[in-house]
A and B are shown apart, each in its own frame.
Chain A
Amino acid sequence: MTDSTALYDIPGPKTRQRHRLYGIVSTIAIVALLGWILYLLFDTGQFTAAKWAPFEYKGIQELLLRGLGNTLKAFAFAAVFSLILGTILACGRLSDHAPVRWVSTLLVEFFRAMPVLVMIFFIFVALKVQPLPALVAGLTLYNGSVLAEVFRAGVNSVDRGQREASYALGMRKTQVMAHVLVPQAVRAMLPTIISQLVVALKDTSLGYLITYEEFLHAGKLIASNLDYDLPFIPVVMVISPIYIGMCMLLSWFANWVARRQRRNPKTEAVDIAPAKPGTLLPGGTPAP
């Protein structure tokens, strides 16, 4: 049922009227809720000049920009390294040698079953690593394992005939992989890979918890400044649209690639299922 209209009839005049009523009532309810929140914001004095003035200072703006830069830096490192780790682990899982396969399966399953934060804290606290490498390492281990599963699913879902045909042409194992399976798989996997990178981008905010000086950390510094009358809510109101906007942009890009691909004949041999988060269960959506 791709079109949800199968769930209800095309409404007649009376139903349309009723729906309009529901629509109006719910809109009023939402507007009232927003109004109430706005009232609360005004009532608790969140829009006073003192609380918003700090955003006009150059130092504060630079602090925020530096935080944003650090977030993007951590994201870039994590993305590159997890793609590399994912490739290595996927090669391991697709290997013809059983011990290699077992080891990589064990690694992938373990790192996917662990909370990212536990890994980051372990690396930060127990191994006494600096915040940035700890954050990047934690994100890499988790996202790399998830991406390994994505890559494996992608390669496995290329039509069997493609592999058989290449072997019949006398290609070697590596040639089949490099020239036939991977190029087709990567095209089909691209949307899933990008959605997993959105997860990595969102998780860079965990750096805040290990005192990495990223965007949220910069916000916290401003928010806890007594000189500016503790502008906590203004900080949240400035930071969250930027964060959510960045993630939305990346998600939207993933969707765009996916839509483009649905029309592309080059990916016809592959119909990929999204990678499953967590563990051990068949099926699923990109890990939250």
Chain B
Amino acid sequence: MNVLTDNFSTYGEGFLGTVELTVYSSLLALVLGFLMASFRVAPVGSFRVIGTVWVTVLRNTPLTLLFFAVLLGLPRFGLVLPFEVFAVLALGCYTSAFICEVLRSGINTVSRGQGEAARSLGMSFSETLNNVVLPQAFRSVIPPIGSTLIALAKNSAIAGAFSVTELLGTYKTLSELGYNIVWTFIWIAVGYLIITLTISALFNVLEKRYGVAR
């Protein structure tokens, strides 16, 4: 028990690190995922190719390899940024591929007549997508996006192993100080549970508020 009370600041720092990483990468992943999803359904062929390649490659890349390439590779091009930024980039890009697929399958759940009706009213592609299809798709993608973001929060642990300030990384400091390693890990686990359960609860609220049973 005193592992937590003695090292509250270390744990707090790690916890905040994880939360920060999760929030920033989620934002990046949502924006990029949205962009790629609209690329994948766009009328222009080369946009579709870009979207498809992005998703296929990133979905099949091990995240550790991506971290390895981004955190240790990009500095060799003279691109020197803090490790946190690199971690956000890697996590965000990786998750964006999954968000894109979720959004695309959400778009596919909207019934065909909606798109046809919008077109027959003379709406353009972006108007159809933004005013008619996406608002309806949004309601059905809330749960899967929640699951993807939970996975993102869990994946942020990998950043900790690449020496970014993060919850999992705290175990090194604490084991050097000679604390009981089992209890150290139990509190780390509790920290992750708090984060994932919070995201889960948040998306349950969103689901109740906006989700519509069709």
Binding site for B on A (CB under 8 A): 1-4, 6-9, 11, 15, 19, 22-23, 26-27, 30, 40, 44, 113-118, 121-122, 125-126, 198, 202-206, 208-209, 216, 219-220, 223, 232-233, 236, 239-240, 243-244, 247-248, 251, 276-285, 287-288
Which residues in B have their C-beta under 8 angstroms from that of A244?
Answer: 57, 60-61
Which residues in A have their C-beta under 8 angstroms from that of B60?
Answer: 198, 202, 244, 247-248, 251
In the complex, what residue of chain A is closest to B160 when comparing beta carbons?
A117
A200 to B113, CA, bound (A): 40
Contact indicator A27/B46 (Cβ below 8 Å): yes
Q: Is B27 an interface residue (CB 8 A)?
A: no
Which of A126, A205, A232, A279 is within 8 Å of B62, CB to CB?
A: A205
Taking the closest CB of chain A, its distance from the CB of B179, in whole angstroms, is 11
Taking the closest CB of chain B, its distance from the CB of A217, in whole angstroms, is 10
User: Given contacts A1-B108, A44-B78, are A206 and B43 in contact (CB under 8 A)?
Assistant: no
Contact indicator A216/B50 (Cβ below 8 Å): no
A130 to B182, CA, bound (A): 17
Which residues in A have their C-beta under 8 angstroms from that of B69?
Answer: 236, 240
Contact indicator A281/B197 (Cβ below 8 Å): no
Contact indicator A115/B77 (Cβ below 8 Å): no
Q: How many residues of B contact A (CB 8 A)?
A: 76
Taking the closest CB of chain B, its distance from the CB of A47, in whole angstroms, is 13
Contact indicator A216/B147 (Cβ below 8 Å): no
A20 to B2, CA, bound (A): 66
Which residues in B have their C-beta under 8 angstroms from that of A198?
Answer: 60
Other contacts beyond A122-B185, A202-B63, A285-B101: 8, CB < 8 A: A7-B128, A118-B192, A248-B56, A251-B60, A276-B147, A281-B204, A285-B148, A288-B98
Contact indicator A23/B44 (Cβ below 8 Å): yes
Which of A118, A223, A276, A278 is within 8 Å of B157, CB to CB?
A: A118
Which residues in A have their C-beta under 8 angstroms from that of B95?
Answer: 288
Contact indicator A284/B47 (Cβ below 8 Å): no
A284 to B146, CA, bound (A): 9
Which residues in A have their C-beta under 8 angstroms from that of B192?
Answer: 113-115, 118
Q: Is B35 an interface residue (CB 8 A)?
A: no
Which residues in B have their C-beta under 8 angstroms from that of A288?
Answer: 59, 94-95, 98, 148, 151-152, 155
Which residues in B have their C-beta under 8 angstroms from that of A121?
Answer: 161, 168, 171, 185
Contact indicator B197/A113 (Cβ below 8 Å): yes
Contact indicator B44/A247 (Cβ below 8 Å): no
Contact indicator A26/B181 (Cβ below 8 Å): no
Taking the closest CB of chain A, its distance from the CB of B188, in whole angstroms, is 6
Contact indicator A243/B61 (Cβ below 8 Å): yes
Chain A interface SS verdict (over half): helix
Which residues in B have their C-beta under 8 angstroms from that of A8?
Answer: 43, 119, 124-125, 128
Q: Is B144 an interface residue (CB 8 A)?
A: yes
Taking the closest CB of chain A, its distance from the CB of B37, in whole angstroms, is 11
Q: Is B16 an interface residue (CB 8 A)?
A: no
Which residues in B have their C-beta under 8 angstroms from that of A232?
Answer: 72-73, 76
In the complex, what residue of chain A is closest to B69 when comparing beta carbons?
A236
Contact indicator A30/B63 (Cβ below 8 Å): no
In the complex, what residue of chain B is closest to A122 when comparing beta carbons?
B185
Q: Which chain B residues numbered 40 to 66 have a C-beta less than 8 Å away from chain A? A: 41, 43-47, 50, 56-57, 59-65
Taking the closest CB of chain B, its distance from the CB of A222, in whole angstroms, is 13
- B98-140 vs A, CB cutoff 8 Å, 1 = contact: the mask equals 1001100101111110111001000011001100010000000
Taking the closest CB of chain B, its distance from the CB of A149, in whole angstroms, is 12
Which residues in B have their C-beta under 8 angstroms from that of A243?
Answer: 61-62, 65
A26 to B155, CA, bound (A): 32
Taking the closest CB of chain B, its distance from the CB of A43, in whole angstroms, is 9
A227 to B204, CA, bound (A): 55
Which residues in B have their C-beta under 8 angstroms from that of A251?
Answer: 59-60
Residue from B65, B119, B197 having most chain A Cβ neighbours under 10 A? B65
A26 to B47, CA, bound (A): 7
Contact indicator A278/B151 (Cβ below 8 Å): yes
- B183-214 vs A, CB cutoff 8 Å, 1 = contact: the mask equals 01100110011001100100110010000000
Q: Is B12 an interface residue (CB 8 A)?
A: no
Contact indicator A281/B147 (Cβ below 8 Å): yes
A-B residue pairs in contact (CB < 8 Å), sample of 9: A7-B119, A115-B192, A121-B185, A122-B185, A126-B182, A202-B60, A232-B76, A236-B68, A279-B150
